Structure 1
Amino acid sequence: MYKRLLLAALLTFAIAIAYVYRDHLHVDGLRTWVDAGGAAAIAAFIVLYTIATVLMIPGSVLTLLGGALFGPVFGTLYNLAGATLGATLAFVVSRYIAGDWIARRTGGISRRLLDGVASEGWRFVALTRLVPLIPFNLLNYLLGLTRIPLRQYVLTSAICMVPGAAAYTYLGHLGNAAVSGDANIAQKLLLGLALVGALLFVPRLVIRLRRKPMMTVQTLSNRLADGDELLLLDVRSADEFCGEQGHVSGSRNIPIDQLESHLDELNGYLERPIAIICKTDRRSAKAGRLLLKNGFNDVHVVENGMTAWCEAGLPVER
């Protein structure tokens, strides 16, 4: 009840502000205000961005606005400053004020994230900033539940948010240039497309760098024989698992289309080795990418899967 009343009051206040300043709510009017305000206007923008981040208001609109008002370079700096300050404040609120309440509300997500940070530290923060596994505003509060030092969190976040901030800021600058009839809009458009393409490539690059080499069936057989405490995850369907090829003794069957909903069951293997097997290795590779995105650190795909296992004459169960 109180949340709804607060939301209604904030909405009413926002509508009133928009009505009073309706003649200034366009880029030219805002730029005039920024030019007149100087450093105070810049500070006000950063404070607004900080507050929006803490209140979990999507910052994409403000990022685009920052690019339109301040240009690609200074816009990126101001957007990054606001996002970093907001992320830091949310982290502090979560850690020292509302940690228990947030943990209860987020359930399995917070447990998996706590385990991931415990095993990887700041590297997990870098991964989740570069690969958007969890929405930015929610992630700030969730990371406050972990034991990562505040200094590491702030520094890692600021560095790893640069690619996204630069790309979205430039898009805002590009939109303003298009509206104002910039003669060089074609060149700027090509550069904007290149930045967006690079931004989309970053998550794949991060996952590729974390990917382990494929494991041969002989290596898998040797490790199992030596009593290695690895999880052998078979991602074929249940019919295939019990079908003609059979399965490796001790393997656990979770079909690829059900894997994402069963990740909480695998939390004990965030830092322990996981070997993934299917008929060949296509579904295994897909499962490996999913596990890496969710913080599992020692993931191996079995090369050519059960096909290679059977061709090598290794024992199976049916």
Structure 2
Amino acid sequence: MDDTMTLLFVFIQSTGLLAPIIFIGIHLIRPIFFIPVPVVCIVGGILFGSVFGTLYSILGLTMLSILFYFLYRQVPRLSNKINTLKQKWLGDKVNFTIGQIAILRLIPFINFHLLSLCIMDVTRYFRNYAKASFYTNIPVALLYTVFGQFIREFSTTVILAILLALTLLFYLLREKQVIIKWHEFFNPKAGRSFQ
């Protein structure tokens, strides 16, 4: 991971005024080279500082989400692969809220495009999808750009505390609804008549 970050750092730093455009482009091609989102965001923080690094990362990740939306609709092979991944990891009946998806995006080993598919399931139209993608990309870009360089130095206890806090937030932001099956709702209790 350090070699990848060093290579990205040297490459982008040597491009001068085109650096922001190239950095956003790296977000778009990142999945092809299996570069994790946190690595690119950390490089953005080192190169551009917290504010501009976060803005460029949000822009790049949102553009990647929009590109995924159109590729998912146009490329059946990609949609089959992502649907299989969703079926394997989440099953059929999982409905995450936008807040939960934003929390899940903070966890590095969860597939970025799988979460984009979850956003597609929650939203109906492209405009809503683009807005939800933008909002769910803000926490991941902000966290890894600002604090990403310090996360490697945290102790195991601090990392476990962060994961526990994320799990608690994930639970608190869940969709709060109760599903009662038809036959359970209308099933009269034994020994009771409705006269």
TM-score, scaled relative to structure 2: 0.63
Match of 1:44 in 2: 22
Mapped pair 1:207 → 2:171: yes
Instruction: Give the direction of change, closer, same or farther, for the CA distance of 1:81–1:200 in structure 2 (3 Å limit).
Output: farther
TM-score, scaled relative to structure 1: 0.42
CA offset at residue 169 of structure 1?
Answer: 0.6
Gaps of 5+ in 2: 187-195
The answer to which structure has the higher strand fraction is 1
**Separation in structure 1 between the aligned mates of residue 174 and residue 81 of structure 2, nearest angstrom:** 30
Instruction: Note the alpha carbon deviations across 1:18-60, whole angstroms, 9 max, x for none.
Output: 9xxxxx9485x557525xx21x221011011111146654222
Match of 2:101 in 1: 128
Match of 2:63 in 1: 85
Match of 2:75 in 1: 97
In structure 2, what residue type is equivalent to 1:84? T
Most deviating of 89-98 and 165-174:
165-174
Match of 1:152 in 2: 128
CA offset at residue 128 of structure 1?
Answer: 2.1
**Separation in structure 1 between the aligned mates of residue 73 and residue 120 of structure 2, nearest angstrom:** 5
CA offset at residue 74 of structure 1?
Answer: 0.7
CA offset at residue 75 of structure 1?
Answer: 0.6
Q: Greater CA radius of gyration, 1 or 2?
A: 1
Match of 2:115 in 1: 139
**Separation in structure 2 between the aligned mates of residue 56 and residue 32 of structure 1, nearest angstrom:** 21
The answer to which structure has the higher helix fraction is 2
Match of 1:108 in 2: 87
- Would the aligned equivalents of 1:50 and 1:83 in 2 still touch at CA under 8 Å? yes
CA offset at residue 174 of structure 1?
Answer: 5.3
Q: Which has the higher contact order (CA 8 A, sep 6+)?
A: 2
Tell me the secondary structure at the aligned position of residue 131 of structure 1. Answer: helix
Instruction: Give the direction of change, closer, same or farther, for the CA distance of 1:142–1:55 in structure 2 (3 Å limit).
Output: farther
Gaps of 5+ in 1: 1-17, 19-23, 118-122, 179-188, 213-222, 230-318
Alpha-carbon RMSD: 4.3
Match of 1:292 in 2: none
| Identity score, percent | 25
CA offset at residue 147 of structure 1?
Answer: 6.5
Instruction: Note the alpha carbon deviations across 1:142-188, whole angstroms, 9 max, x for none.
Output: 6557773222122112112222211111134659xx9xxxxxxxxxx
